[in-house]
Amino acid sequence: MTNLKQAILQGIPSELPEKKKKNPNVSHAPRRKDILNKEEKQLAIRNALRYFPEHMHAVLASEFAEELKTYGRVYMYRFMPNYEIIARNLENFPHKSKQAAAIQLMISNNLDSAIAQHPEELITYGGNGAVFQNWAQYLLCMQYLAQMTDEQTLVMYSGHPMGLFPSHKDAPRVVITNGMMIPNYSKPDDFEKFNALGVTQYGQMTAGSFMYIGPQGIVHGTTITVLNAARKIDATAEDLSGKIFVTAGLGGMSGAQAKACVIAKGVCIVAEVNSQATYKRHEQGWVDEVYKDLDELLDRAIAARKNKEAVSIAYDGNIVDLWEKVVERNIHIEIGSDQTSLHNPWAGGYYPVGMSYEATNEMMVNNPEQFKKEVQKTLVRHTNAINTLSERGMYFFDYGNAFLLEASRAGADILNKKGDFKYPSYVQDIMGPMCFDYGFGPFRWVCASNDAKDLAITDKIACDVLEKIMQHSPTEIKLQMSDNINWIKAAGENKMVVGSQARILYADAEGRMKIAEAFNNAIADGTISAPVVLGRDHHDVSGTDSPYRETSNIYDGSQFTADMAIQNVLGDSFRGATWVSIHNGGGVGWGEVINGGFGMLLDGTKDADRRLKSMLFWDVNNGISRRSWARNKEANFAIQRAMQMNPDLKVTMPNSADDGLIDSLDL
Ligand SMILES: NC(=O)c1ccc[n+]([C@@H]2O[C@H](COP(=O)([O-])OP(=O)(O)OC[C@H]3O[C@@H](n4cnc5c(N)ncnc54)[C@H](O)[C@@H]3O)[C@@H](O)[C@H]2O)c1
């Protein structure tokens, strides 16, 4: 047995391992809020010690107390494994169940130090998107996955592996809940408190559900968004060429913006306040050029627009300085947005202007009240600049990061006369009506051989399937189909794989089912050398209830309910998902969203064929039926098509009431 297998099977070591130093070459999470009183701190240490035998407690208690004091959380750095955590061929992971080995692969990818934002704090992206709360949970979870059979299910409570429970081969191998709270305890400080106690975590979307595939996962969605934004403001535009898109953020997801814009043939200016993140993206080739001088940067962008050059340009500084300079120089910007982490405004998601990065991190911890004031003052200046440029003709949209929400909470001039936000969210204007309502969403897969050759074969299979479907696609979805076909054709040469051999491809229910079926057949006949993991982002048709993002184009009042997301994960779990997850928070913030996802292993068997057909059909059409019931006409069209394709589907359809009749009522 390899050392890796032995180490995973060992779980929590029986003898105390050597104390470990933090790696200075990786990015570390900012110090978290010191929110617990003395008794609560004692409880946090008691909770952490639960994972270890008593003979280790004397050493660990003071060490964990020190971590709590220094970092605001107990990460248990001493227990970081000695082996490299990276995606590998699933046969390299110890297992009795191939499904469980595939989950080990996916966890390893989420924690790979080349991929994860703060790998040693087990954060994959979004500042606080955690895979686990501490290293003991990681060790235990990997051990359980290595030991389990296809007749057991691993139950995960916010990173904590509760244990293996007897089940059956059609049940999910893992059921994950992250951040589920009694609704009255879902305010941001509740998260800080219960996370510091070690009893909950913020799983974001694909972090705590083991489905992150690096920024590629979001490049495709961002490409679709900016392409359609360009078409929205210019009916003659095929793409973004000759247009400037200004935004902020070169982090986990936001890092995709620069690349997506170049793929869409535009000029992207992106501000990033954390120099480490800026230069990491530059080295990785995700952003082409970096400037510290705003005048030089803007001159370069204007020249690129004139020459219809596709280029991405980073500003190593604060977005508000950039916007104010654009206003001062009266430069026309076609499209603007923002992807700072405003879902997490008080703990490092958004940096106030006029202060150094280091000074801001200090203030966040030592003077949180002043920090909050600085953030809010900055948000007001940020909004003022955007308002001025929008009055001069810029199209601005919220990118699902809670910018509009937090700007309004900061008292910025962001509401119109009716009391609504002045600007649409990208889902209201673009992703909702053009993609989600038709069932198009971020379908993805990972080749469990970890072999690039397999990925190239899957790309070709997926492309062939979509081209065949497109021959009979109705005109309503032809543009989406052709964007997705163009994407998959160029995916290999765009070289977006970081970590696991993964691909994202927006597809509707028919596309997802037919691609999955073709993969399963190709695994059965040996064309693809090993199983394939299917999944998706939670940012999809059915998985997420989020009133300011995924469900912001629902107008029947139900955007504040979470029945769809809960129904979705329940339905996926008994239709054959290999693992399911449901989260509070993700994207727009704790208490603001419920989102769920799944993973499914295709192994070329008849069982896999049965499961994929049953589960993928539900996983898309659940959301379309809800969107149709909300009277969204595109969803109404799509669900009627789905009912024609499968006569066992019978969905309750809405009747429309006459506007005049409603207006005439004495209410
Ligand atoms: N890409 C998408 O399609 C998409 C979709 C939905 C939501 N989002 C949202 O976008 C946000 C960003 O996600 P992420 O994973 O990239 O988070 P992240 O925390 O990894 O990155 C955000 C980046 O913004 C930078 N930043 C913060 N304040 C800044 C400022 N004032 N000026 C310049 N840079 C600043 C941070 O340093 C950080 O690198 C999240 O709120 C996420 O939910 C993205």
Question: Would you place residue 39 in the very low, low, confident or very high pLDDT band (cuts 50, 70, 90)?
Answer: very high
Q: In this model, does residue 496 exceed pLDDT 90? A: no
DSSP 265-293: T-EEEEEES-HHHHHHHHHTTSSSEEES-
Q: What distance in angstroms lies between residue 578's CA and the mean position of ligand 1's atoms?
A: 30
Q: What distance in angstroms lies between residue 288's CA and the mean position of ligand 1's atoms?
A: 19
Could you give the CA distance from residue 548 to residue 94 in angstroms, rounded to a whole number? 42
Residue 347 Cβ inside 6 Å of ligand 1? The answer reads no
Question: Would you place residue 262 in the very low, low, confident or very high pLDDT band (cuts 50, 70, 90)?
Answer: very high
> In the prediction, which pLDDT does 586 show?
86
pLDDT tens digits, 399-428: 988 999 999 999 999 999 999 999 999 999
Q: In this model, does residue 1 exceed pLDDT 80? A: no
Could you give the CA distance from residue 343 to residue 349 in angstroms, rounded to a whole number? 7
Residue 401 Cβ inside 6 Å of ligand 1? The answer reads yes
Contacts of 486 (CB under 8 A, 6+ apart): none
pLDDT tens digits, 566-615: 999 999 999 999 999 999 998 788 999 999 999 999 999 999 999 999 99
Q: What distance in angstroms lies between residue 552's CA and the mean position of ligand 1's atoms?
A: 19
Taking the CA of residue 341 as reference, the ligand 1 atom at the shortest distance is 41
Mean pLDDT, the chain, rounded, equals: 96
pLDDT tens digits, 514-566: 999 999 999 999 999 999 999 999 999 999 999 988 999 999 999 999 999 99
Taking the CA of residue 319 as reference, the ligand 1 atom at the shortest distance is 32
Residue 551 Cβ inside 6 Å of ligand 1? The answer reads no
The three-state secondary structure class of 392 is coil
Number of helices and strands in the chain (H, E) = 23, 17
Could you give the CA distance from residue 31 to residue 70 in angstroms, rounded to a whole number? 7
User: Tokens at residue 425, please?
Assistant: 């969210």
- Give the CB-side neighbour count of residue 25, counting CA atoms within 13 A: 2
What pairing do the DSSP bridges indicate for beta strands 267-272 and 244-248? parallel
Residue 585 Cβ inside 6 Å of ligand 1? The answer reads no
Q: What distance in angstroms lies between residue 315's CA and the mean position of ligand 1's atoms?
A: 15
Q: In this model, does residue 70 exceed pLDDT 80? A: yes
State pTM to two decimals: 0.88
Name the residue of 128, 254, 386, 552 to mutate for ligand 1: max ligand atoms within 8 A of Cβ. 254
Residue 343 Cβ inside 6 Å of ligand 1? The answer reads yes
> In the prediction, which pLDDT does 215 show?
78
Q: What distance in angstroms lies between residue 251's CA and the mean position of ligand 1's atoms?
A: 6
Q: What distance in angstroms lies between residue 27's CA and the mean position of ligand 1's atoms?
A: 15
> In the prediction, which pLDDT does 606 show?
98
Of 457, 468, 525, residue with least CA distance to 492: 457
Dihedral angle sign, alpha carbons of residues 370, 371, 374, 380: negative
Residue 272 Cβ inside 6 Å of ligand 1? The answer reads yes
Taking the CA of residue 588 as reference, the ligand 1 atom at the shortest distance is 43
Q: Name residue 499's amino acid.
A: G
